[in-house]
């Protein structure tokens, strides 16, 4: 799936807001970003994407399971995600069921904090909260 490019360079305007003169460089694909891809709670879906340098990035579109680490037992277990309880970075994410790093999720084992970046890593890793 092709995504729209979002130019993230800062060579078009001055800090005061005025427009700069003609720039010598051209907008490059490498300078473009993309729309935020935040995984949601739902059936497991993964997206493989080519990124800069010909590398491959695995993005998580939706997640149903998380690798939950239990500090007491020092073991990680695959557990089903029941719901997204809260998200400190953006409270609206929890309402939408979007999973990001730092989000508190309710699993079969209990509450856990997400430690990975699912949209970047392609997996949900979490640590159980006592």
Each residue's pLDDT tens digit, 16-64: 877 776 666 777 777 777 788 899 999 999 999 888 788 998 999 999 9
CA–CA dist 99, 70 (Å, integer) = 20
CA–CA dist 86, 22 (Å, integer) = 47
Class of domain 40-128: alpha beta
Distances (CA, A) of 107 to 27, 52, 79, 83, 91: 45, 35, 6, 7, 19
Residue 1 scores a pLDDT above 60? no
The gap from C-alpha 114 to its chain's centroid, in whole angstroms, comes to 11
pTM: 0.75
Domain residue spans in the chain? 40-128
């Amino acid at each position: 799936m092709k995504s729209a490019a979002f130019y993230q360079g800062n060579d078009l305007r001055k800090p005061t807001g005025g427009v700069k003169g003609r720039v010598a460089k051209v907008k490059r694909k490498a300078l473009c970003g993309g729309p935020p891809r935040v995984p949601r709670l739902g059936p497991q879906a993964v997206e493989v994407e080519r990124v800069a340098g010909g590398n491959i990035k695995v993005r998580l579109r939706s997640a149903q399971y998380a690798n939950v680490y239990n500090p007491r037992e020092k073991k990680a277990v695959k557990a089903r995600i029941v719901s997204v309880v809260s998200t400190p970075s953006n409270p609206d994410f929890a309402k939408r069921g979007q999973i990001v790093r730092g989000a508190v999720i309710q699993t079969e084992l209990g509450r856990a904090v997400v430690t990975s970046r699912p949209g970047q890593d392609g997996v949900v890793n979490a640590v159980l909260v006592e």
